[in-house]
Amino acid sequence: MNPRYLVNFKLSELSRIKTDVVVVGSGSAGLVASLEAARYGKVIIVTKSGVEESNTYHAQGGIAVSLSKNDTWKKHFEDTIFAGAGLCNKTAVKILVREGVERVREIMALGAKFDKDKEGLLFGREGAHSENRIIHANGDNTGEEIEKTLIRAVKKNPNIRILEKHFVIDLLHYKSRCYGVIVFDNRSGRQFAVVASSTIVATGGAGQIYRETTNPEIATADGMAFAFRAGAALMDMEFMQFHPTTLYLAGAPRFLISEAVRGEGGILVDKRNKHFMKGYHYLKDLAPRDIVSRAIVEQMKKTRSNCVYLDLSKMSAAKVSRRFPSIKKICKEYGINIPKDKIPVRPSAHYMMGGIKTDINGCTNIDGLFACGEVSCSGVQGANRLASNSLLESLVFGARAGKTAALHSNKNKKPVPDIKYYKERKLFNALDVDDVKRSLQSVMWMCIGLERNKETLEEALNIISFWEKYTLSACVKYVDGFELQDMLMIARIMISAAIKRKESRGAHFRTDFPKQSDKWKRHITFRLK
């Protein structure tokens, strides 16, 4: 196939692989969905990097689950609703906190080892939680433990096949029906189809759209983009959560400093060593993430500083080593000796509350298409995710999506039409993908970051819409080009949603509409006409 028309295809001209269920993404949601679907049939996992590379693998804090003696699912429910700023789907939240207990026990049965003492599991606390309910593994390596446990189970399952280094360009779709995916082999450049009766999107978030982010390089909004192009609805796209504390040093990666650090006694201070959170919220350093993030930005303005500091001096060196080994290691690499030295921090883009609109079983408005994990939006997170609920969401709704997709596949063995997809492409010899990507990230950070307003949002929309016009018609040959096209599309939708919501709620804060309004206690949904 001529590389100039790489993304054009006629299904009958492509080689194809058939399966019952195809899962796109290998984070915890995708792996759990695969294991559940494999109970009923054959599964293929398609992942654009190595199977371990995901947002899950880099997750530090832990899993929020009501397993401690003083805790109940009702308390967890109430905390989640409170953090969600009025936009949580209460049915989905009830499922999350009730079924989450059993899903966590299941992953323990698979071999996941969480930190314990003589009395049993150790429970930490993070922002907006009323009880200590965060379980963690190897201190601050919870995501890695979960990911490795699930990968072991997946590799042992004879019904599951993994395609690593394979990028999904688009869905195979025709008349509101999904028949699988079009895949690009990153190594050979070969394009082929994975045909399936059910397709599950579990590609993670969109953090790489921003200049400052905790997300790995793979978080480029691909699943949201190709689902949208197929006609799937996207919901709550204005709600990107900014994590309050990421390492801020010239030349250093924006390494996440877990909220669990504050849960264990760390406090935020400004450059004058003032403990400023007392003046912003009654929960102080453990207020919801949107409040802490904006408080940090406000304090930076007041003190004319580029960052604030996380003070761990109330913790012993032994506790820091035991509880936060990864954070200690990365700080040491840059000459910060904790708990003696303070950690310079500031907010970064962290978690996407919006995504592909689903019901409580992962079903979308496209027949045969399902979604779970960060790429999806059932309304469970509302306008601002409660800390450490994301891994729990992946386990609970990943299992639900996997089962629903597998049962759908068994009942819907329809013949696949000879789908055609041709689009006019232009060859841009001078298109610098990396330069457009960096420019996009800068515009998003400046115009649709922690604070937004009509003027900057409309400016960003005009700029990105112009870039999108010529990049979407460009012939790209490699994964970074496909990613750029996806990022631009989703960035435009995020900005459009932020313009529409004329209020401030959760992670969405507009300086020209600083108050929350009951008129906007509703979801905003986008769908391709």
383-413: burial string, b at 16+ Cβ within 10 Å, e else: bbbbbbbbbbbbbbbbbbbbbbbbebbeeee
Which residue, 320, 308, 331, 280, is CA-closest to 127?
A: 280
Same domain, 73 and 213: yes
Asked if 371 and 201 count as a contact pair (C-beta separation under 8 A), the reply is yes
Query: Looking at the domain assignment, is residue 248 inside a domain?
Result: yes
Same domain, 289 and 255: yes
- CATH number, domain of 290, equals 3.90.700.10
How confident is residue 430, by pLDDT bands cut at 50, 70 and 90? low
Query: Looking at the domain assignment, is residue 341 inside a domain?
Result: yes
Secondary structure of residue 201 in the 3-state scheme: strand
How confident is residue 423, by pLDDT bands cut at 50, 70 and 90? low
- CATH number, domain of 508, equals 1.20.58.100
Same domain, 215 and 92: yes
Query: Looking at the domain assignment, is residue 447 inside a domain?
Result: yes
- pLDDT of 286 > 50? The answer is yes
Same domain, 344 and 213: no
The DSSP call for residue 415 is P
Same domain, 97 and 214: yes
Query: Looking at the domain assignment, is residue 508 inside a domain?
Result: yes
Which residue, 365, 366, 364, 367, is CA-closest to 397?
A: 364
pLDDT at position 495, please?
98
Same domain, 99 and 248: no
Helix or strand (DSSP H, E) at 376 = strand 376-377
Residue whose tokens read 């599991």: 121
Cα(292)–Cα(83) distance, integer angstroms:
12
Q: What is the mean pLDDT of residues 171-198?
A: 93
How confident is residue 275, by pLDDT bands cut at 50, 70 and 90? very high
Same domain, 247 and 213: no
pLDDT at position 425, please?
62
Q: Amino acid identity of 523? A: H
Q: What is the mean pLDDT of residues 109-121?
A: 93
How confident is residue 5, by pLDDT bands cut at 50, 70 and 90? very low
Query: Looking at the domain assignment, is residue 37 inside a domain?
Result: no
Cβ partners under 8 Å of residue 488, min gap 6? 436, 440, 464, 467, 468, 471, 472
Same domain, 393 and 464: no
- pLDDT of 302 > 90? The answer is yes
From 73-77, 298-302, 319-323, 412-416, the region with the lowest mean pLDDT: 412-416
Cα(20)–Cα(326) distance, integer angstroms:
40
- pLDDT of 3 > 60? The answer is no
Same domain, 443 and 491: yes
Same domain, 215 and 103: yes
pLDDT at position 250, please?
85
Catalytic residues: 289
Query: Looking at the domain assignment, is residue 410 inside a domain?
Result: no
| Residue-number span of the structural domain to which 290 is assigned | 243-350
pLDDT > 70 fraction of the chain, expressed in percent and rounded: 97
- pLDDT of 470 > 70? The answer is yes
Same domain, 212 and 91: yes
Same domain, 393 and 437: no
Question: Does the pTM of the predicted model rise above 0.95?
Answer: no
pLDDT at position 420, please?
81
Query: Looking at the domain assignment, is residue 11 inside a domain?
Result: no
Which whole-number Å values give the CA distances from 77 to 90, 97, 181, 389, 470, in the listed order? 8, 6, 36, 11, 46
pLDDT at position 132, please?
93
- pLDDT of 408 > 70? The answer is yes
Query: Looking at the domain assignment, is residue 152 inside a domain?
Result: no
Q: What is the mean pLDDT of residues 461-466?
A: 96
- CATH number, domain of 125, equals 3.50.50.60
- pLDDT of 2 > 70? The answer is no
Give the rounded distance of the alpha carbon of 510 from its chain centre.
Answer: 23
How far apart, in Å, do the first and last CA atoms of the chain sit? 30
Q: What is the mean pLDDT of residues 366-389?
A: 96
How many domains does the chain fold into? 3
